[in-house]
Amino acid sequence: MRSFAALVAAFALLNFASASPLKEFSLDDPSLLGRDYPLLDKREARAEAVSRIAATKARNAKKARALEYEKHFNMVERAIEEMAKAEGLTKRDLERRDIHRRAVAKVQCGVGAKASTPICVKYALASEIPANGRVACNSNTGRCQIVCNNNYTLRNGFCYKNANICTGKVCPAAPRNGVYLCTPGPRCTLVCNFGQTPNAAGTACVNTKFDANNCGAEGNVCPPSYNGIGSVHCWNFRCGITCPNGYYRRTSSTGQYYCSTTQA
């Protein structure tokens, strides 16, 4: 005789067999067609790509402007040091003057203060005021500061003449990799970025270290390949040639480089 547990199990299997079978999945099922699935819109994707490209270009342009400003800043700094050196001032002198300038600007001289006010005289040391500079006070705020005379600009404790009015005329437009400053004389002087030097006319900056048209010296053009194969270049002030694969660098009897398929 079957046990009670066996009878219960048989009854459960009977109910499962009589149940309706699972419905087969079909893509044509109307219930699926009525659902809202997100689809990729080509126009939205294209707009997003354009937006990303524009953002990348904007970032690159910002970096380029920052680098250009840094190069200009370095050129001006170097030129000022050179002009200060001509007046017997060292880089340390300029740093000390700049610290003194900032300290004077923090002093409260009192309402109605003038450059001759005792406390201003005490802190604004005459020995630290640059040539073509002076002490200017604001009677309303009671503060004084070191400034440059008209047509001069203060930078790092040094007053240099504005280039746009140097010798009473406008300096030429600054060339690539350079900037004009008004140096003692006065005259417009071209100051070039690091790795560049002014040409003899002082109108352009040239790279005598890597420029094949000014290799080693201004106007020294690297001669073309003797047989027309290979590209010339300038490296560390010397002319050279780059040969294509399978070619070897050779030198003609006149000392001109060329490329050949033979090693000897």
Residue spans of the domains in the chain: they are: 86-206, 207-264
Site of tokens 């342009």: 61
Task: Please say if the pLDDT value at position 19 is more than 70.
Answer: no
pLDDT score recorded for residue 180 = 82
- pLDDT band for position 121 (cuts 50, 70, 90): confident
Peptide bond into 186 cis (omega under 30): yes
Rounded to an integer, what distance in angstroms lies between the CA atom of residue 252 and that of residue 250?
Answer: 7
- CA-closest candidate to residue 112, choices 135, 134, 136, 138: 138
What local confidence, expressed as pLDDT, does residue 24 receive? Answer: 53
> What percent of the chain stands above pLDDT 70?
79
Residue in this structure with the two tokens 């067999």, named with its chain if needed? 17
Residues 176, 235: Cα–Cα separation, whole Å: 21
Q: What is the pLDDT of residue 220?
A: 93
In which band, very low, low, confident or very high, does the pLDDT at 159 lie, cut at 50, 70 and 90?
A: confident
Q: Among 17-21, 189-193, 247-251, which stretch is predicted with the lowest mean pLDDT?
A: 17-21
Q: Two tokens at 204?
A: 């352009």
The distance in angstroms from the start CA to the end CA of the chain is 108
Give the mean pLDDT of 166-174.
76
Q: Quick one: average pLDDT of 102-122?
A: 77
Radius of gyration from C-alpha coordinates of the chain: 39
How far apart CA 63 and CA 60 sit, in angstroms, is: 5
Average pLDDT of the chain is: 78
Does a cis peptide bond (omega within 30 degrees of 0) precede residue 38? no
> How far is residue 49's CA from residue 203's CA, in Å, rounded to a whole number?
44
Q: Are 98 and 78 in contact (CB under 8 A)?
A: no
If one compares 16 and 98, the residue with the highest pLDDT of the two is 98
| pTM (2 d.p.) | 0.47
Residue 94 pLDDT greater than 60, yes or no: yes
Q: Tokens at residue 14, please?
A: 């009977």
Averaged over 242-259, what is the pLDDT? 88
Checking if the pLDDT of 91 tops 60, the result is yes
CA–CA gap between residue 180 and residue 183 (Å, rounded)? 9
Q: ∠188-189-193 over CA atoms, to 5°?
A: 140
**Range of lowest pLDDT (53-62, 134-143, 155-164, 209-218):** 155-164
Residue 228 φ/ψ region, left for φ over 0, alpha for ψ in the -120 to 50 degree band, beta for the rest? left
**What span, in angstroms and rounded, lies between the C-alpha atoms of 205 and 214?**
11
**Which is more confidently placed, 198 or 182?**
198
Which pLDDT value is given to residue 213?
94
- Decide if 177 contacts 196 (C-beta within 8 A): yes
